[in-house]
């Protein structure tokens, strides 16, 4: 059904500066802002980068009982005109049109032909050169043609894009579901493998408990053995004191003794008739004390301070005769007791010899 231009308002919306995905949304936003009637129905001729919109009052369509999908605006049923200003005869009244590049750029309807002032105002608002708008052109009657594209109501704008978006979203959701299922399956398998590995590890731990206990016991015994060996390998203070007593001259007094492994530090008092050189020679003569030197560190002390090293854990002579105490000489054996007379006693009254 052909819709008269007298019942419509026209607006051209340029979408060339927007991304393709955003054009439908931008068009809907501009149409919601442009309401030439109290309740408008929009008929849209949507091209790639522009839209020609014809608004009509909804009550007109309701009174005619015609669906908007079956309406064709009168302007779109005219053959395209050359570039420039044109005055076109309509079913009712006349329409001023501006064409450029084979497209309708601007349109205005009058009930009767406009005068020069009205035409100049239309041309100025359409941004046409003033020289071309001085004279009202002759009235034209273009041929009738079938519109090149189907007319879309406002509710169908962006349906194709939304359909494609829904398809893309649905495909992405399907991919996510498949990927999520694969991930869940892999996680389940990994959890099962982990449980199996944990169970096997616990079994190995139970099997290894006796071995671990034996190992701990062996390590404890090894530590105790090491401690005993260290004690056996260290010189004993009593032996050091005994050797000093053997080597020091009579009348010497040991005030301090510090034993650290094989290092010995001793502070002593010497008799007046014993020289330091004699003392050092006597200590070195035993062979156990070595590197004997007097300490002169400036510290106030009573007595003579000596530092020396031990040549071994035990004194050399005692080490050679370590088992001498286990042997007894003839002098160490006690003399046998005298013989006891065990002859019978004489009878009573008998004479003694």
d(CA 84, CA 86): 7
Q: Give the number of other CB atoms < 10 A from CB of residue 152.
A: 20
d(CA 214, CA 133): 113
Angle at the Cα of 230 from the Cα atoms of 224 and 231, rounded to 5 degrees: 90
Q: Is 107 helix (H, G, I), strand (E, B) or coil?
A: strand
Q: CA 290: distance to chain centroid?
A: 65
pLDDT surpasses 50 at 294: yes
CA distances to 94, 245, 268, 310, 323 from 265, in Å: 132, 15, 10, 11, 29
What integer pLDDT is reported at residue 139 of this predicted model?
Answer: 93
Q: In the Cβ-directed half-sphere of 62, how many Cα atoms lie within 13 Å?
A: 6
Radius of gyration of the chain, Cα coordinates, nearest whole angstrom: 64
145 or 174, which is more confident? Answer: 145
pLDDT grade for 327, boundaries at 50, 70 and 90: very low
**pLDDT, average across residues 305-327:** 68
What integer pLDDT is reported at residue 95 of this predicted model?
Answer: 95
d(CA 27, CA 108): 21
What integer pLDDT is reported at residue 348 of this predicted model?
Answer: 54
What digits encode the pLDDT tens for the residues 220-269? 888 777 767 666 667 888 888 888 888 888 878 888 888 888 898 888 88
Q: Give the number of other CB atoms < 10 A from CB of residue 47.
A: 12
Contact 26, 46 (CB under 8 A): no
98 or 170, which is more confident? Answer: 98
Contact 352, 346 (CB under 8 A): yes
d(CA 161, CA 25): 10
What integer pLDDT is reported at residue 323 of this predicted model?
Answer: 45
CA distances to 2, 36, 187 from 25, in Å: 28, 20, 42
Q: And the tokens for 250?
A: 């009579």
314 contacts: CB under 8 Å, gap ≥ 6: 235, 239, 322
**What's 351's DSSP letter?**
P
Pick from 86, 128, 92: which is nearest to 110 by CA?
92
Contact 72, 151 (CB under 8 A): yes
Q: Of 117-131, 242-256, 291-305, which gets the smallest average pLDDT?
A: 291-305
What digits encode the pLDDT tens for the residues 63-116? 877 776 678 898 889 999 998 899 999 999 999 999 988 888 899 999 999 998
Instruction: Give the DSSP per-residue string, 163-220.
Output: HHHHHHHHHHHHHHHHHHHHHHHHHHHHHHHHHHHHHHHHHHHHHHHHHHHHHHHHHH
């Amino acid at each position: 059904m052909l819709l008269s231009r007298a019942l419509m308002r026209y607006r051209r919306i340029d979408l060339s500066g927007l991304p393709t995905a955003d054009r439908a949304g931008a068009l809907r936003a501009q149409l919601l802002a442009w309401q030439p009637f109290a309740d408008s129905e929009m008929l849209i001729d949507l091209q790639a980068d522009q839209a020609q919109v014809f608004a009509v009052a909804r009550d007109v369509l309701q009174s005619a009982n015609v669906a908007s999908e079956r309406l064709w605006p009168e302007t779109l049923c005219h053959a395209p005109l050359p570039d420039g200003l044109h005055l076109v005869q309509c079913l009712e009244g006349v329409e001023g049109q501006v064409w450029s590049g084979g497209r309708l750029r601007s349109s205005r309807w009058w009930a009767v032909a406009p005068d020069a002032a009205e035409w100049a105002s239309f041309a100025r608002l359409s941004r046409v050169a003033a020289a071309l708008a001085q004279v009202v052109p002759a009235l034209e009657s273009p041929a009738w043609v079938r519109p090149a594209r189907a007319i879309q109501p406002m509710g169908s704008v962006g349906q194709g894009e939304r359909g494609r978006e829904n398809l893309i979203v649905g495909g992405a959701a399907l991919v996510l579901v498949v990927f999520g299922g694969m991930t869940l399956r892999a996680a389940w398998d990994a959890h099962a493998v982990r449980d199996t590995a944990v169970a096997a590890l616990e079994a190995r731990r139970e099997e290894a408990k006796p071995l671990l206990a034996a190992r701990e016991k062996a390590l404890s015994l090894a530590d105790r053995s090491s401690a005993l060996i260290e004690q056996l390998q260290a010189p004993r203070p009593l032996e050091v004191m005994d050797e000093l007593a053997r080597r020091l001259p009579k009348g010497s007094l040991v005030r301090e003794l510090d034993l650290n492994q094989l290092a010995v530090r001793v502070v002593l008092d010497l008799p007046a008739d014993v020289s330091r050189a004699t003392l050092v020679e006597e200590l070195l003569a035993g062979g156990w004390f070595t590197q004997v030197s007097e300490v002169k560190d400036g510290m106030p002390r009573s007595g003579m301070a000596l530092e020396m090293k031990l040549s071994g854990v035990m004194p050399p002579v005692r080490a050679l005769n370590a088992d001498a105490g286990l042997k007894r000489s003839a002098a160490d054996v006690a003399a046998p007791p005298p013989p006891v007379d065990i002859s019978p006693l004489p009878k009573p009254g008998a004479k003694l010899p």
